[in-house]
Amino acid sequence: MLEECRERICRELDKTVDFWLKYSHDTVHGGFFTCIGRDGKVFDELKYVWLQGRQVWMYCRLYRTMDRFHKPEILEAAKAGGTFLRKFARIMGSGGQWKCAFCLTREGKAVKIQRTIFSECFYVMAMDELSRATGDTDMQLEAEQMMEQLIYWVQVDSSGLGRPHLPGDVPTNSMAVPMMLLCLVQQITEGRGQKVAEKYRDLGNWCVQQILQHVQRDGTAVLENVSFDGTELQGCQGRLQNPGHALEAGWFLLQYSTQWGDKELQKTAISKFVEVPYQSGWDKEHGGLFYFLDVDGNCPTQLEWSMKLWWPHCEALVAFLMAYQQTKKPELLDMFSQVYEYTFNHFPDAENGEWFGYLTQEGKVALDFKGGPFKGFFHVPRCLYMCERILDDLLSNKA
Amino acid sequence: MLEECRERICRELDKTVDFWLKYSHDTVHGGFFTCIGRDGKVFDELKYVWLQGRQVWMYCRLYRTMDRFHKPEILEAAKAGGTFLRKFARIMGSGGQWKCAFCLTREGKAVKIQRTIFSECFYVMAMDELSRATGDTDMQLEAEQMMEQLIYWVQVDSSGLGRPHLPGDVPTNSMAVPMMLLCLVQQITEGRGQKVAEKYRDLGNWCVQQILQHVQRDGTAVLENVSFDGTELQGCQGRLQNPGHALEAGWFLLQYSTQWGDKELQKTAISKFVEVPYQSGWDKEHGGLFYFLDVDGNCPTQLEWSMKLWWPHCEALVAFLMAYQQTKKPELLDMFSQVYEYTFNHFPDAENGEWFGYLTQEGKVALDFKGGPFKGFFHVPRCLYMCERILDDLLSNKA
């Protein structure tokens, strides 16, 4: 079965890379189109910065670490994306600190800035990975400088993000923030030696602690938003669960536990961030993972709560397979198989390649584009890439 | 058939008023709970300001204009809501101008401010209507002062709203803004004599012109966002259609055309803002009005585009019935009947009263709460109230 999975995953990865190489490059203004229809047609010329950064990162990662993608056209595409990002994405924010735009026109003019850290995070990922692919140390420096800015916003003073502090606005540890920073810590330190790893060790541990605070209700639930001292918040915000996000945190924690040989963390990651979100998040009636749930069983207020999105399924595949790789527990492989069946039966578009992103609760395609404001060349290829590598490892050790 | 409709509508209005009187009042801190579950249970104590203002307005309107609601408990509820709003909703914005919060804690502390004008608009509606119900001229003055602030933001300088101007951010005539202002013009001037009507005449005409600019594609489509000189904008934003919103604009325009005896405007309102959105927005497969559409037939990027929401159906009922009242064209009554059938078969909750707000494309209840961040005591009762009055008129003229 694993052999067959590996074949399918490998084929899907090739098709996905082909799709984006073929349809997303803007050879006139640089950068990548990110709104791409079912058949490859660009339906909006806006360039979303999260997705620019992620695409640069993904191309470089494939180029650097997989022989069959070590091709000049992939490196060139990544470099063109990086040039566009460096030229246009960074702008001076209202607080006098560098920010990255959220969205640019085709020509690179800023359309929107978010008052969060995520555009900047994907900028760091892109620059760090591009510096590795090209050997350009300026880019590495830029990644590190932006990383310092991010740490300042998260740990010292967030006022530069531009969000006013309001008396009723309870400070919130939102899972996305420590997850994203942990991802960046792993990105920046990977293979750069003990000294760099030690430099970011405290930050990594802080991220892990912040993530672990989201385990609530005697360990039976992962909540998306908690207080900074790890207690539950009131209302919908406090009861919100995002199973796909918890599963993504799960494999981030598994990677970190491996890096530092932390067996306790590995155990927690699997039981709380892999098994628990699957138990609570899997739709027993129609299959697939819910997007949002309320831990008390109220109806979430997000209109899309019951939809099945591609990315939670991507994260689940990586989480289950990595957890199985590390433990060889057969029930984790069973979970992987279940998600694999659902995912490959519902998301890939056999006709035009790439995956649909948004299904109804019942599994019907609800939005048929391949790229949109939040879907780009990232979750699908990252999942396929991670799974292919883990499967290679599992299959070669077995042989 | 109209007699039967009137009965049903009258009954639904009573049930809806009962529901909110029973479940939404916060007798401890004042104001209204707005997040109310299927069975009436408050599932979040946050108080959304749009909905506070709308509820005050709706109570006062019913109290003032319908005998059976001219009861002390309804006036008291409205006054309690008004007191809460005046005490807590207005806060000093970053630009040194008064803003209204978007969301408050149960106790009235500001949680979130939007960088738009809508909280302030509903504040004006509430204060003006409350001043009419109570005779309190301070409130009327407050409404007028906030109205001046709104006009300044919309027509002179929007920087006080706090949104940075970015070079790629194309100035957009979003239909919501002139619609909302036209609604306020009608609110503020109603029954206040010729002098007040004349004072706001230019603004009213400006709103109408701004709304009419949304008719595009040789009159075959109403687009939600256009440029300020009335040309189509690029991309998804420019192609967006919101049929329920166009229908709501339709009956606002019909009211305005009646007030000023403008037959040309009446004709345009019916053909472009009532018939066109119905043609493009009605789901011929499953019934009901789509939430969003793309005029070129691309898939919208809003995840909820194909869902059936309660409020477009409310607006459609008012628009069709008012258009029929003014013209007696049978095809408009047919459209009303079709929407009436769909609406009354899908939205009301026979078990607990009030209406569900959010259905899947196929018509299944997708979110089962009665009140949430954007659903309160407003669209359902306003629709029932308007329809009951129009039906009374139609039935009495017939008799």
Number of other residues whose CB lies within 10 A of the CB of residue B169: 16
pLDDT at position B260 = 95
Per residue in B280-305, is it b (16+ CB within 10 Å) or e — as a string? bbbbeeebbbbbbbbbeebbbbbbbb
What value, to the nearest 5°, has the Cα angle with vertex A312 and ends A310 and A315? 110
pLDDT at position B165 = 87
Q: What mean pLDDT do residues A206-233 have?
A: 97
Question: pLDDT digit string (tens) for A241-267?
Answer: 999 999 999 999 999 999 999 999 999
- Which residues 205-244 of B are in CB contact (within 8 Å) with A? 234-236
pLDDT at position B333 = 98
Rounded distance, CA A220 to CA A295, Å? 10
- What residue of A is the nearest CA neighbor of B91? A166
Smallest Cβ–Cβ distance between A303 and the set B35, B358, B361 belongs to B358
Strands B221-222 and B215-216: antiparallel
Element (H, E) at B110: strand B110-112
pLDDT band per the 50, 70, 90 thresholds, residue B258: very high
Phi, psi angle pair for A307, to nearest 5°: -70, 155
Rounded distance, CA A70 to CA A59, Å? 10
Number of other residues whose CB lies within 10 A of the CB of residue B18: 12
Q: What mean pLDDT do residues B360-383 have?
A: 98
Question: pLDDT digit string (tens) for B333-353?
Answer: 999 999 999 999 999 999 999
**Average pLDDT, rounded, for chain B:** 96
Domain boundaries, chain B: 173-368
Rounded distance, CA B181 to CA A63, Å? 55
Q: What mean pLDDT do residues A34-61 have?
A: 98
Token pair belonging to B154: 């919309």
**B45 touches A at CB < 8 Å:** yes
Compute chain A's Rg from CA coordinates. Answer: 20
pLDDT at position B397 = 80
Smallest Cβ–Cβ distance between B301 and the set A108, A235, A373 belongs to A373
pLDDT band per the 50, 70, 90 thresholds, residue B1: confident
pLDDT band per the 50, 70, 90 thresholds, residue B97: confident
pLDDT band per the 50, 70, 90 thresholds, residue B398: low
**CA nearest A212: which of A268, A261, A164?**
A268
The CATH code belonging to domain B173-368 is 1.50.10.10
Tell if the CB–CB gap between A304 and B300 is shorter than 8 Å: no
Is the pLDDT confidence value at A398 over 70?
Answer: no
**CA nearest B387: which of B4, B5, B1?**
B5
Q: What proportion of chain A, given as a percentage, has pLDDT over 90?
A: 96
Is the pLDDT confidence value at B399 over 60?
Answer: no
Token pair belonging to A268: 């927690």
CB A241 within 8 A of CB A224: yes
Q: Where are the alpha helices (DSSP H) in chain B?
A: 2-23, 49-65, 72-84, 118-134, 137-151, 176-189, 193-199, 201-212, 235-239, 243-259, 263-270, 276-281, 310-327, 330-346, 379-398
Question: pLDDT digit string (tens) for A105-124?
Answer: 999 999 999 999 999 999 99
Q: What three-state secondary structure class fits A341?
A: helix
User: What's the farthest any 2 CA atoms get from each other in chain B?
Assistant: 61
**What secondary structure letter does DSSP report for B282?**
B
Question: pLDDT digit string (tens) for B192-226?
Answer: 999 999 999 999 999 999 999 999 999 999 999 99
Q: What mean pLDDT do residues A92-102 have?
A: 84
Angle at which helix A379-398 crosses helix A310-327, to 10 degrees, equals 20
- Which residues 160-199 of B are in CB contact (within 8 Å) with A? 162, 164, 166-169
- Token look-up 């990651």 returns A269
Question: pLDDT digit string (tens) for A254-313?
Answer: 999 999 999 999 999 999 999 999 999 999 999 999 999 999 999 999 999 999 999 999
**CA nearest A133: which of A78, A52, A189?**
A78
- Residues of chain B contacting residue A372, judged by C-beta atoms under 8 Å apart: 301
- Residues of chain B contacting residue A105, judged by C-beta atoms under 8 Å apart: 168
Query: What is the separation of C-alpha A299 from the centre of its chain, rounded to a whole number of angstroms?
Result: 26
Query: Number of residue pairs across A and B with CB atoms under 8 Å?
Result: 117
Question: pLDDT digit string (tens) for B121-176?
Answer: 999 999 999 999 999 999 999 999 999 999 999 999 998 898 888 999 999 999 99
Segment among A149-163, A363-377, B127-141 with least mean pLDDT: A149-163
ipTM rounded to 2 decimals: 0.96
CATH of A174-368, picked from 3.40.50.2300, 1.50.10.10, 3.40.190.10, 3.30.499.10, is 1.50.10.10
pLDDT at position A92 = 84
Phi, psi angle pair for A268, to nearest 5°: -65, -45
Token pair belonging to A303: 């209109």
